[in-house]
Amino acid sequence: MSKRDERSSERKSCLNRRDFLKTGAAAAAGAAVVQPFAVRSATADTTVRARPKVVRVHDDRATYWDYSSNYYFDHVNQGVVDDMLDVGVKCLTNTFTVADAWNVIMASYVPGDKVAVKINMNNYAGMSNEMDAIAPSINALCHGLVDVMGIPVADIRVYDCSRPIHQQRVKDRVNYAVTYVESGDALAQADYDAPVTFRNISTQYIPLVVSQSQHLINLPLFKDHFYVLATMCFKNHLGTSKPGPSSLHSSIHTNLSDFYVNPHIRDKTRLVLGDALFGLWNGGPYGDPVQWDTFPNGPTPNSLFLSFDPVAHESVMVDYLLAEQAHHGVGETSHDYLHEAMDYHNLGVHEHCNGLGNYTNIWYIERDAHYGEDCWRGNVNKGAGLVPNVLFVNGSAGVNGGVVEVPAGQPIVITLNAPPSRSMSKYALYAWNRQPEACCHKTQPWDLGHTCLPTPMNGASPQPVLIWNNLGYQSVLGVPNRFAPQAPCTIANVAGGLPAGRLYTLQGIIQDDAAIHPQAAVTNAVVIKTV
């Protein structure tokens, strides 16, 4: 089998994705079952890289263009995109607050550092609908870097060294006074102390905007290309190269990975953020955004893709592109550069999906921000207003995701209040012997809400190890293995405490007359950690 045949058969299963789509929810549920919800600390970056995580955050409220009126980039809900990125960074880093997430992503940041952001201005022209970098994703990124992390806005350098940055399309619509670096600027010139060597073409150089920045964020678009399969996070850096991209187009597959492996790119990249609010699956890099038939929740992608691994990031994005192209009978352009990036330079993991969004070596997570309330808050009393905590450990509902740290051997008292709407409540309460994944909440049936881990109603693993249930319906809510008096009550009183290193997550369903569901709500979650 030739190399090319191998590559085409390697992803053949994805061409059956329309069949797969028919299975809909069952497939999604199946995918969730196999997710390895391993316990990871927020900073366990090396573990994350072992099986690289790619997160797609979707929200159908992000854009509202009709594909004909005015400018597509003026039909974006900035607040929704901000929320999507907040959800995405928390999910990527497995943290419960946006501040914690950015502190993981930018862990090596010290005040005074510069942050270069590579946008794609490949279609720079007058005011048109040709797909190019647009302001909403830049604004959302600045919200994290400037508003949340407190990085001085002028230290954010939004750049494209080979094109001007459009005044009306970008500068007038970005709400932050970032530093722009565009073709012709002093910082867009080559740093001759920062050469990039290639296997097949002569040396190029990193521009000063990157060599003199400590951090790099790669902000590509969701477009195909006629030279290579896609212009995403790899090809985006042709606008970083000096003297410029033209000579890079011969031997492009080796050039793309040879460029990315340069330490200024590979070692400084803190985040790859794919702006897939809109997409273009044929005719790129030129052309207006188009509607999609096979993209989940289409016809507009309304998505952001996040990863630390550029190869995994692009592998997932191109699978959506390949599926759409196959659906329309569009001939496939080579993506050998992704195989080069993995096989020759070890830049990350390249894999093709085995069914929609289903990967073995890439940890791919899809998250819908529209329904993405923080799982640990629960929804007690939400039909009436504010959501109070009802579950406490030693009187505390915890901080940052409900975590309560208890010294080893110290008493642990778990109490459950009735919701404000009732004096007494029955409940089904669960304890899992693991920490929740910040992003991997489980949606409970009958609009009950979201829990942080799967309940007996979901059937997925990991299932709770302790169950208190005085609501009945044991075949649905679980067979209790602990005595359960009605709330308000003491659930457990472990006078002698537990050894260090134990970890339990507690959450349940409780009778609530002011819930969104007519009868019951999801309690807050509390994570007990013994230290």
| Nearest residue (CB) to Zn ion, 170 versus 353 | 353
To Zn ion, the closest distance from the beta carbon of 280 in angstroms equals: 21
| Nearest residue (CB) to Zn ion, 343 versus 447 | 343
To Zn ion, the closest distance from the beta carbon of 342 in angstroms equals: 9
Question: Which one-letter DSSP state was computed for residue 369?
Answer: G
- Alpha carbons within 13 A on the beta-carbon side of 274: 35
- CB nearest Zn ion: which residue? 7
To Zn ion, the closest distance from the beta carbon of 325 in angstroms equals: 14
Q: Please identify, among the stretches 4-12, 191-199, 214-222, 284-292, the one whose residues bind Zn ion according to the rule CB under 5 A.
A: 4-12
| Nearest residue (CB) to Zn ion, 223 versus 339 | 339
| Nearest residue (CB) to Zn ion, 168 versus 360 | 360
Q: What are phi and psi of 192, to 5 degrees?
A: -75, -5
To Zn ion, the closest distance from the beta carbon of 8 in angstroms equals: 9
Which amino acid, 404? Answer: V
Number of residues that bind Zn ion (CB under 5 A): 1
To Zn ion, the closest distance from the beta carbon of 338 in angstroms equals: 6
| Nearest residue (CB) to Zn ion, 330 versus 387 | 330
Taking residues 7 to 46 in sequence order and writing x for each that binds Zn ion by CB under 5 A, - otherwise, the string is x---------------------------------------
Measured CA angle at 43 (ends 37, 46), to 5 deg: 75
To Zn ion, the closest distance from the beta carbon of 54 in angstroms equals: 15
Q: Are 94 and 437 in contact (CB under 8 A)?
A: yes
To Zn ion, the closest distance from the beta carbon of 43 in angstroms equals: 31
Taking residues 309 to 328 in sequence order and writing x for each that binds Zn ion by CB under 5 A, - otherwise, the string is --------------------
| Nearest residue (CB) to Zn ion, 7 versus 51 | 7
How far is it, in rounded angstroms, from Cα 484 to Cα 426? 9
Q: Give the dihedral sign, CA 472/474/478/482.
A: positive
| Nearest residue (CB) to Zn ion, 7 versus 345 | 7
How far is it, in rounded angstroms, from Cα 143 to Cα 157? 14
Q: Please identify, among the stretches 5-13, 206-214, 434-442, 447-455, the one whose residues bind Zn ion according to the rule CB under 5 A.
A: 5-13
To Zn ion, the closest distance from the beta carbon of 235 in angstroms equals: 16
| Nearest residue (CB) to Zn ion, 7 versus 502 | 7
Which amino acid, 177? Answer: A
DSSP string, 178-242: PEEEETTSGGGSEEEEEEE--SSS--EEEEHHHHT-SEEEE--EEEE-SSSSEESTTGGGGGT-B
Partners of 492 in beta bridges: 414
| Nearest residue (CB) to Zn ion, 132 versus 336 | 336
To Zn ion, the closest distance from the beta carbon of 272 in angstroms equals: 18
Q: Please identify, among the stretches 6-14, 127-135, 222-230, 369-377, the one whose residues bind Zn ion according to the rule CB under 5 A.
A: 6-14
Tokens of 456: 């007996």
| Nearest residue (CB) to Zn ion, 145 versus 311 | 311
Q: Are 530 and 435 in contact (CB under 8 A)?
A: no
Under DSSP, is residue 392 helix (H, G, I), strand (E, B) or coil? strand
Whether the link from the prior residue into 243 is cis, omega within 30° of 0, is yes
Residue ranges with strand state E in 435-525: 442-444, 449-451, 466-469, 489-494, 503-511, 520-522
> What DSSP element (H or E) covers 318?
helix 310-327
Under DSSP, is residue 513 helix (H, G, I), strand (E, B) or coil? coil
- The neighbour count for residue 69, using CB atoms within 10 Å, is 9
- Residues 6 or more apart whose CB falls under 8 angstroms from that of 528 comprise 393, 404, 406, 412, 502, 503, 504, 505, 506
To Zn ion, the closest distance from the beta carbon of 222 in angstroms equals: 18
Whether the link from the prior residue into 462 is cis, omega within 30° of 0, is yes
Tokens of 12: 């053949």
To Zn ion, the closest distance from the beta carbon of 445 in angstroms equals: 38
Q: Are 205 and 192 in contact (CB under 8 A)?
A: yes
| Nearest residue (CB) to Zn ion, 332 versus 405 | 332
Q: Which residues bind Zn ion (CB under 5 A)?
A: 7
